[in-house]
Structure formats: structure tokens, C-alpha cells
Structure 1
């Protein structure tokens, strides 16, 4: 039963690896077409049952205070009594509210004071060379290659386990490769964000006017922003590899004894 599950998991990992590789290659092809002026973003391509969609996005953030007093009869932010700045109308659900002449106020031990909203802005291109677009294409291809490699290693590991070769030097090598690749991916992600950002390659600038003001989210810099949880997962896989190495040594001794 366990071998059957390993076999099914291995095939699932292989299929996922093929899809990840196909997505990375397709993204690279359409990226080259866009940079040479033969296509444009967003990409929306269908071929029979297959569908590929890709878009360029920029993460943005906006933050504004939450009104502790506002007139519910007025809709324009600049007409709030006693507050000439933009603010969000939000009160704690279930809290004690005081409404007098249409003005809502709330004085509770827990109340909203500031809201920070994050999201993404989708970009469209007319085709042709742009350094930032080129950097994003390279970034997407690299990420796709890392994911494909990780899935292929997982496929080989599960295939070895399904063949009854769980405690072997081959399994140990695969586990070590998975662990180191997981750690490398955690270090690579912020590096890609940093070195493919608009502040590094240029070609992309924004100016926001009026309310709300949308500010592009800057990267934390490198080596900041490394996913410590992912690094810890990679270290855990390496520790498991050492356990399997010990198990492989015991298995070799047992075979020699027999």
C-alpha cells in the first residue's frame, strides 16, 4: 500500500514538473515576443484545451487613518466634520456607537485607527524592448526552473521509495539535493526581487496624485526578506537526509550479515 502511494505521488510530482516547465518555457517565449515587438502584455493565449495567461504587475500599498467621527449623510471624504483629510469610514462591529444628528462616533477600548491596504496594479505594454520587462521575464523563467527542478527531485525520491529503495545512498543524495535547493530558493527569492526591481534596472516609474495615494511596494533589499521558515524547512530536510543515511548504513550491514 505504501509503495502504491509513493508511486502515485511520484507520478503526480512528475506531471506537476512537466506543467511547471511548460509554463516557464511559454512565459519565456511570450516574453521574447513582447520584447521584440511581436506581442504585448497582458498575454492571453488559448490552443484547444490549453490556456496561458500572463500579466505584469506591481505591488502597491496605500494607508489612511480611520475616522473616529464622521457624518453618515455625507459621501465626500473632504466633508467629514472636523477632518479635512481623507480617512476610511470604519467602526468596530458590535461596539457602542453614538449617533447624533447623523454623526457617528465611537469610543471603545478597541477601535480601528489606521488602515493599510495592499494589492497589485496590472500593467499593459505596446511591445518592444524595456529593461524592466526583460528583468521580469528572466525572473519568471528562473523561478519556473527552480520549481521544476524541485519537483523532479521529489519525483525521483518518491520513485526510489516506490521501488523499495528508501534507505539507500541514492535516496540520501536526493534528500540532500532537496534540502539545499529549498535553502537556495529561500535565498534566491529576495535576490530576484531586489535585482529585478525598477530601482535597479530602471524603465519604470510611478507618480500617484489625489486620494488614495498608491505607493509601489519597495523590496526589503538583499539579503533582507529571506524566508526563514523556508530555510528552516531546508535544514529539516537535510536532517532527515542524515537519518536516512544512518538507516542506509544499517541496511547495508544487514545485507552483509545475511
Structure 2
């Protein structure tokens, strides 16, 4: 653990030298959602490969850049692409960038992802604001020795997603007349295989509204570090276990990109409210 701590702190020191100002908000851009980064003003773009000890993304749809700049007038740090358990990383390794963001002094984080809909009332393109989650990834990002100055040994997760940020997001969606916005419960599975019909039924019965392969390990670390969390899933497809069509990654990316304009409008409206 001491070696991991040193690696994190080395990345923090490197990034501090690149900062013009301390970001107020961090954003994690998931599958098919990297386009928002193109709207960043005065961007400082750092490929993950240039940051000491950073993991590297192996997923084609994740650009792999750490960006400083401004969005909606707010100083931000953006992870343009993330890491996943199915890539072979432990959850501690894949959440290292979140730990780095927290140690840079960032207090608020917006996490996005592309997800499969489980709630039959959802439509493709729905923007689901997370109100809770289920963690089915067989590894916890806090497993092992705890670094007390980073957070408590047993962090409270009674409210993993900040209520005020969630309410502000829904209010902004109404004000901007952005359609198909809902709240729901996200379930994280290890992947990379997609869900079978039986698994889809099971996840629904567990109370999940959407399923994906990310986000929850990042949320756990963010909450451990005391960050306020807002998370949004773009529902790329809706899974009907009785008529389950083949789930193809390229189709998921395409559907997510179709919703990206509405997603970007929503986040740009929310940022000034944080």
C-alpha cells in the first residue's frame, strides 16, 4: 500500500505543476461521451501515457486524456476516458485517477457512463441521474490497508449520490427542456460479456434500472475522499429479457453519441449550479 500511495502522490505532484488554477469540478467522460471535452476553453491536454504511474485505457472508444480548462465558466479537470475491471485492472488501480483528483483538492465530481436499460419504462437515449447503485464487481476499491489521511476505514454510503446535485440536475433539465431525463439505480457488473436473458431478469428483480461495467468503484473512492458525486447514465439500449436482441458495442456507442448533445447541454447547465 505504501508503494501505491507513493505512485499516487507522484502523479499528483506532476499534475499540480500543469494546473493554472485548482479545478472546482472533475468530470469523467464515459463510452461515447468524449465530445464534451471539445467544448473546454483554454484546454491543457495531457495524454494518460505522459502522467507518471497512470493506467492506460485499452478501450478504443476512450480517448485517454487528462484535461485542465474551463467549462461554463468553471475551472474543471476532465478524464476523457476511464478504466474498467474487465481490462484486467484491480479496482484500486482503475480508480487511481479519482484518488489523484481528490488529492488535487477537487470537491465535486460528475461521472458519466453508457448503460443498458433494465427499467421497461425507459427509452433509448434516456439520461438517468443515479440515485443509488448495486455493486456486483467482485473487488472493492478500498480493499486492503486504509490510508487514514485519504478517508475513513469504513466510509458511509447511505447517500452515495449528492441529493442537492441530483435535484439541481433535474431542475436544469426542466429549465432547458431536455426530454427523457429520469432517476434510477445503476448496477455494476464485471464484464466484458454482456448480460444473458436470465441475468437481465435477475438484475431487474434486484431493483436495478440500468446496468454497466464502470462507475461504482469510482464513486466509492470519491465518497471515501469526501467528494460530492453526481452521476449520469446514457441509456444506449433497453434490455427486454423475453425478446433480447444481440447487444453490440458499436451499436451502444452509436446510440450514446446520438444522445450526447442532450447530455452535454445538461452538464453545461448544471456546472454553474454546483
Which structure has the larger Rg over C-alpha atoms?
Answer: 1
Do both proteins adopt the same fold according to a TM-score greater than 0.5, normalized to the shorter chain? no
User: TM (normalized to structure 1)?
Assistant: 0.22
Between Structure 1 and Structure 2, the one with more helix by share is 1
Between Structure 1 and Structure 2, the one with more strand by share is 2
User: TM (normalized to structure 2)?
Assistant: 0.21
